[in-house]
Every structure is written in C-alpha cells, then in structure tokens.
Structure 1
Amino acid sequence: MTGPVRARQYCPPFDQLDALERLRVGACAPTDPMLPLDNEVRDASRSAGLEIVDPEGVPLARFPAVQIGNAGATGTPEWLGNGSPRPYEPLYLSPSQVRSAVDAGALTVVVDRRLNRTDTAEIRALADGRPVLLLVLSGPTMSPYTRGVTLLRRSLEVAKGLREARVVAVPLDPRIAAANPALQDEVVSAYAPGAVAWLGTHTTRLPDTQTMHGAGDSGGLVLFFTGLSGSGKSTVARAVREAILEEDGRPVSILDGDVVRRHLSAGLTFSPEDRETNIRRIGWVAAEIAYHGGAAICSPIAPYDSTRKAVRAMALDRGGDFVLVHVSTPVEECARRDRKGLYAKAQAGEITDFTGVTAPYEAPTDADLDLDTSSISVDQARDRVLALLHERGHLVDATQPEWSI
C-alpha cells in the first residue's frame, strides 16, 4: 500500500525567496507568476503541489497543484512558518509593524548603499528635527553572501548619531530595486508612514584604518587569476602579493590552485564536476576574506566561464570587489616551460582531462586585465596588476588622503 504523494520540495534562488517574503509580510501584491519554475520542477509539482524551503531546508510555504501553471507557481501560497534566522533578524519588520511603531510624521530615508559622512549630514538636513526611519534595502536576505549586513551595520551606526532614528530591514536587493522602479516604489510605499527621501549619489568615503579600500561595500578584494597550467599566473600572483605587503603592509591571502587541492579540496578528481567544486570552494573562502575587508588572491586554472561568474557573484554579493585577470600565455609556451612534465604526459595519454590538451579552457570575455607572460616580464605583469588596483581604488598613493578615491 502506498502512502499519499508528497509535495515536491524546492529551494528557489535568493531573489525569489525575498519576493515570497515581501508577499508574506504584506510589502507587495502577488505577481504572475509569483514564482517562476523550470520545466523539471514545474512538472514534478503538478500532482501534489510544491513546498518551498529555505537554504537550510526549513519549510516556508506551499503552493497546491492547482496553482502550478505553465510559467510557474501563481497566486498566494499557504504560509507554513518563518525561515531560518538572518543577521539582524529583529530589524525585519512587516509594514504593519512599522506603521504602528513609527510616528506618522517621520521621514523615511531609503538606504540602498553604504552610508557615508556626507549622507549623514544630508539626512540631518532633510529630517529638520523630525524622527527618521532608515529603510535599508538589505537583500538578498537569505544568502550567506550578502552586502545587506554591511548596509545594516552602518545604518545602525548612523542612527546612533541622529536625534531620533530607527532602522528597518527590507527583503529587497538594491540592484533589483534599481532595475524595477515600480516594485521599489510599491515596497517603499508599503513601509513608509509619511514622507520619503532618497539620498543623492556621493563618491566621498569615510576614512578607513587601511589604505586598501576597494569598490565593494566591505572594502575587500578578490583578485582572481585564471589561465592554463604554466601560464605564469601563480608567479604573478605572488609578485603582486609581495608588492602589496611592501607598499601597504596589509596581509594578503593567496589561494593557489595546487595548494588548495592538497588541503581544502583533498580527494577531488579532475573531472568537470570536481573542478567546479574546487573553484567554488576557493570562491567561498575568498568571498569570506573580502567580506571582512581583506584581500584574497586566487590563482587556479578555473577553466569554465560559468564557474568564474559564480565566484564573481559570491564576492560581489558578500560586499567585496572582484577583479579578474586572464593570464593568456599561449599553450605552446606553457608546455615549453612545464617543469612537472604534465603537458608531455597529457599528450602521451597518461593524464586525462588535462586543460589545454584533452580538456577545454573557456577563455574569459569579461576579464578586467589580460596578461601574456610570453611577451612581458613578471615585473611588468605585476606592475600592470598594481596599476589596475590603484585605478579601482584598492591601493591609495601615500600622498593621497586615505578617503580619496
């Protein structure tokens, strides 16, 4: 005897989880479809429905089978409970909670980036003695890599310096809000008890204790070298690290492909799936370093474009900056330099899935810098990378004030 058919469990992407959370708390109306689904998930849900879970497997909502359409799940689901706690969870209030707790005459200031000193002065001037509600667009809220934590932390610091201010977190990614003004206006209007203010765009940064600032909210950096084995990427990476240590004195972590494989990724093979896992592990560690304001230099082969893009997303979502350097030394020169004899073994069939010989390498089209070490020296390559870091604001000349970018 068989039991009842269970609903298909599904954890949507982070932006869709935020969309469901906004619907749950009453910050917006349902869209059509409310939850887009690929064919496999949609077809598996048509008989018993779809149960939405968060990244930790906690059930959030259920769409019955009748609400599964060709484009996805439609309408409002049955709510099953709250998700796993997020950083600053008490700040995530519903619009009704905000309107009952905040004075109707308060000025709502929408925060979609890290506040700086100029912003604080502008808020004081705009408020003109009124209470202030700092409405922080802090998505993606359920991602382990979110710049929203940085925005909330800084907003709480700013709130302490205002006469009467409160910080509220909103499950909306600033990038999604910027791309969808109608959604942004709907969500802000749901929360704001009165007048709404949008801050101007400023380039001034707060003084920092370090001289490597970065374009990301955390000030951290993921400098990612990609290229064939023997291209010179690890050599250039080490030269860049030494130069930063000598010039800036700030610790820099190196995540070299071979070293990572011996420790973090021990046991993985060189199959396409394991290679992707290895690079994602490197990306996760690098993003964590950048989140805490550090600099991580990575130098794996990283042959697949989709995996490099995933690492870029990890770094940016964690608030750091991502700089991609393609060391494009030709395969013939890489084979000529090969001290380990790997290319010869691959050509003889002794090594399978060897990048550049028996496995593909997808050259990046989105690199911030291209270096061919067959035509330039290591010092020249190092200097080009350092120049890019200066240009991106990660290294500040000793003659500049620390907050100048």
Structure 2
Amino acid sequence: MNEIRLSALQLGELELMRAGAYGHALRYDLPGKGSHSATLLVPGTVASAGLTLLDTEATPIARVRVLETLPGDAGTWVGGLVEVLREPAAPPFAGLRPTAATAPVSDATLLLGRRHGRLDGTVIVVDSADAHALGQTVRGLRTDGLDVRVLPEPAAAHVSGADRTELLEHLASVVFASNVRVIRGEAAAPGEGLVVLFTGLSGSGKSTIARQVTRRLRSETSQRVTLLDGDEVRAMLSSGLGFSREDRELNVRRIGWVASQIAAHGGIAICAPIAPYESMRAEMRELAERVGRFVLVHVATPLEVCEARDRKGLYAKARAGEIKEFTGISDPYEEPTDADVVVGRDGSSPEAAASQVVAQLLGTHEGSYTI
C-alpha cells in the first residue's frame, strides 16, 4: 500500500471531511463532482488499491480504499472511501475548529485576509497553513472579546478565484453558522523572505551559479543567505534516500520545507537540487509563497553539454545501465514552463549567469538595490 504524506491544506480538507462538511460519507471524489466535494491529488501515479495517509509527523492517520483515479498535470486524483485510523497531530487552536464540536450559531462573519476595522459577534478565521498569521489574528480577535472559530482551508486544487471564496463560505455555513457574511480583510503582505530554486540537469552548472549568487547576495543585501546545495542536502538531510521518484520528491520536499522556514524568518534560501518534476517544483513554490517570494531559475544547459563536462562519470554509468533512473537518460526531466529566469542555454559563463539572476532578485540591472 502506498503512503502519502498530506500537506497542511490536505490535512485541513480531511479535518473538514471528518466534521461532516462534505456530507455524512467519509470519501474523496474526483474533481468532476464539483467544488463541494472533498478531493485528493497525489504526486505521481497510484499503483495500488489502497493509500495510507500520513500527517505532518509521518504518522498513519487514515486509509483510502481507492475506487477510481484520474491522471492530471500535477499528479493523480484519487476517489475512494476513507477509514480513519487515529487522530493526527493537533492543529493550532484545536478547540476552535470544526472537529471540536462547538455549538453552531445563527450568524457569523467569515474573515478572508487580515482584520481591519470593527467586527462583532462570531468571527470565522481561515487557517491557510500560516501558523504565525493565524495566531496573530485569533489572539487579536479574542482580546476584543469576540467569539472566534477557525475554518481549515481545504487543498481543493481544482477550485480557484471566486469559486474558492464561495467554497469557503459554503463550508463555514455547514460547520459553524446558518448565515455567513463574507468580509475581505487586507491581503497579507508577503514577507521579506525569499526562496530561490535552481533546477537543471546534472552537470548543468546550477551549483556553481548558485554559489556565486550566494556570495553576491551576502555582499549586496542585509539578509542572511543560506545555500542548500543538492549534494550537501543529500548527505546531511536526505542520506538514505535513493533515486526513485518517491525519494526524489521527498528530498525536494525536505529542501522546500527548510527553505520556507528560512524565508519565514526573513532570510534568503538558495536551493540547487535537480528537481526534475513539475509537481515538486510547484509544491515548493506554494510553500515559499505562503511566507515570502519564490524565484525559479532554470539552468537550461543542453544535455550534450552536461554529458561532455561530466567530471564524475555519471552519464557514462547511466548509459551503461549501471545507474538506474538517471535524470535525462533513463528518467525524464520536465523542463519548467514557469521559470522566472532562464540561464545557460546560450553557453554564457557562470559569472554572467549569476549576474543575470542577481539582477532579477534585486530588481535592477545595476545590482545596487538592497533587498
């Protein structure tokens, strides 16, 4: 049985399901059933009839009997029945959430964004997986003597824009109040933190460019800059992982989590794994943009150039079948279509590529502005 570690928003969706927000049945539906159904999008393909769902502490909390699947651009949608195994790790403000079985009220205000202006009565705050922002908002409202409820935001990757607002309003009305009015607060300003992800084939030069960008930023900005290079992370953070798709995704997910923590505290994280799959890069972007900025740099050095400069002999071993699932040879590299910067395609030097990246990060071609 496959194991899937749920994201914070996917855990929120499971929490809503358990609270009856999607009806009495504990089940995931395919996205074609509409926005008011619980959905589950998992990376890669689903090869078994069952999935074990893990919480943020990698504890099995539920099992899905897979009844139907639907391939998508970012993974596979899964439909099936859910069996709860145990309680997940406690979320923030557990006593204010749908599963706490608090008595419903007649009227409530659903606050989307940061609070501004005067509020009264019951206020429903959305948990969008930013614990710091949630804590600030809840504490402020409770200090004013307001009745506060916390609505988990579901992953619902198939729902966006106005439909997402309507979904949140619907869920709030099911689990908390008969009548819900929506107030849009101020949008949360992005933090000063920054995550820069360099992606490219082995031997593309991404580590060399990333190191030069790190040195430049340390001299030209006042923020702390941390380099999370692919090889070093493999040795220190992900030793024991192989090179299967699942292990590669876990490696990048770990890098993304560490990078987002650095950004959440106002720092700059420079990351240089291969990150060959679009789904893992999208997940890393989502994590980073909750707390700050995200910049994707594609080091687009052609395969033949990477292979010609291969100092470790990895490509030769891959060609000979000695290394399985080697990116660019026996395993695909999904070229990004959403890169903020593309370097290396024209054979430019690492110095020139680093200057191009720094200019993008600092917002100037002179590189004189300090983040």
TM-score (norm. length: structure 1): 0.65
Is residue 56 from structure 1 mapped to residue 59 from structure 2 by the alignment?
yes
Task: Pick from 223, 226, 233 the counterpart of residue 253 of structure 1.
Answer: 226
Q: Which residue of 2 aligns with 1:286?
A: 259
Task: Pick from 18, 21, 24 the counterpart of residue 15 of structure 2.
Answer: 21
Task: Pick from 365, 382, 393 the counterpart of residue 337 of structure 2.
Answer: 365
What's the C-alpha RMSD, in Å, of the aligned pairs? Answer: 4.6
Is residue 184 from structure 1 mapped to residue 168 from structure 2 by the alignment?
yes
Structure 2: distance between partners of 1:79 and 1:343: 45
Q: Which residue of 2 aligns with 1:380?
A: 352
Report the secondary structure of 1:367's partner residue.
coil
Cα displacement string for residues 318-371 of structure 1 (whole angstroms, at most 9, x for unaligned residues): 644432111012233334544x25267448749534544555433222222211
Structure 2: distance between partners of 1:321 and 1:292: 12
1:34 to 1:159, Cα distance in 2 relative to 1, 3 A: same
Cα displacement string for residues 175-231 of structure 1 (whole angstroms, at most 9, x for unaligned residues): 75743444323223343476734125658x4xxxxxxxxx4xx54332110112332
Cα displacement string for residues 222-265 of structure 1 (whole angstroms, at most 9, x for unaligned residues): 21101123322112212222222222221111111122223223
Question: Is the Cα contact below 8 Å between 1:231 and 1:328 reproduced in 2?
Answer: yes
Structure 2: distance between partners of 1:302 and 1:249: 28
Task: Select the structure of larger CA radius of gyration.
Answer: 1
- State how 1:28-177 maps to structure 2 within 5 Å: 28-30=21-23, 34-36=27-29, 56-58=59-61, 72=79, 82-93=87-98, 97=102, 99=104, 108-111=109-112, 113=113, 115=114, 119-120=115-116, 123-124=117-118, 127=119, 131-139=120-128, 146-147=129-130, 149-156=131-138, 158-159=140-141, 163-173=144-154
Structure 2: distance between partners of 1:343 and 1:41: 30
More strand by percentage: 2
Return the offset for 1:309: 3.3
Structure 2: distance between partners of 1:186 and 1:345: 57
Return the offset for 1:372: 1.6
TM-score (norm. length: structure 2): 0.70
1:233 to 1:9, Cα distance in 2 relative to 1, 3 A: closer
Report the secondary structure of 1:242's partner residue.
helix
Question: Is the Cα contact below 8 Å between 1:236 and 1:382 reproduced in 2?
Answer: yes
- State how 1:217-256 maps to structure 2 within 5 Å: 219-256=192-229
Is residue 322 from structure 1 mapped to residue 316 from structure 2 by the alignment?
no
Calculate percent identity across the aligned residue pairs.
34
1:371 to 1:170, Cα distance in 2 relative to 1, 3 A: same
Structure 2: distance between partners of 1:20 and 1:344: 43
Structure 2: distance between partners of 1:171 and 1:108: 15
Structure 1: distance between partners of 2:123 and 2:152: 14
Structure 1: distance between partners of 2:246 and 2:101: 47
> Counterpart amino acid of 2:275?
A
Report the secondary structure of 1:258's partner residue.
helix
Question: Is the Cα contact below 8 Å between 1:346 and 1:357 reproduced in 2?
Answer: no
Structure 1: distance between partners of 2:192 and 2:136: 13
Report the secondary structure of 2:102's partner residue.
helix
- State how 1:198-217 maps to structure 2 within 5 Å: 198-199=183-184, 205=189, 215=190
1:165 to 1:386, Cα distance in 2 relative to 1, 3 A: farther
Return the offset for 1:137: 1.4
1:163 to 1:378, Cα distance in 2 relative to 1, 3 A: same
Structure 2: distance between partners of 1:344 and 1:42: 33
Residue segments in structure 2 that go unaligned for 5+ positions in a row: 31-39, 70-77
Report the secondary structure of 1:97's partner residue.
coil
Report the secondary structure of 2:255's partner residue.
helix
Task: Pick from 291, 313, 324 the counterpart of residue 342 of structure 1.
Answer: 313
Cα displacement string for residues 284-303 of structure 1 (whole angstroms, at most 9, x for unaligned residues): 32233334443211112223
> Counterpart amino acid of 2:284?
V
> Counterpart amino acid of 2:253?
R
Structure 1: distance between partners of 2:216 and 2:24: 52
Question: Is the Cα contact below 8 Å between 1:52 and 1:62 reproduced in 2?
Answer: yes
1:34 to 1:180, Cα distance in 2 relative to 1, 3 A: farther
1:268 to 1:195, Cα distance in 2 relative to 1, 3 A: closer
- State how 1:290-305 maps to structure 2 within 5 Å: 290-305=263-278
> Counterpart amino acid of 2:339?
A
Structure 1: distance between partners of 2:18 and 2:196: 39
1:280 to 1:78, Cα distance in 2 relative to 1, 3 A: closer
1:279 to 1:163, Cα distance in 2 relative to 1, 3 A: closer
1:82 to 1:33, Cα distance in 2 relative to 1, 3 A: closer
Report the secondary structure of 1:301's partner residue.
coil
Structure 2: distance between partners of 1:23 and 1:344: 47
> Counterpart amino acid of 1:110?
L
> Counterpart amino acid of 1:87?
P
1:240 to 1:98, Cα distance in 2 relative to 1, 3 A: farther
1:351 to 1:283, Cα distance in 2 relative to 1, 3 A: farther
Paired residue total: 340
1:136 to 1:40, Cα distance in 2 relative to 1, 3 A: same
1:221 to 1:133, Cα distance in 2 relative to 1, 3 A: farther
Question: Is the Cα contact below 8 Å between 2:26 and 2:83 reproduced in 1?
Answer: no
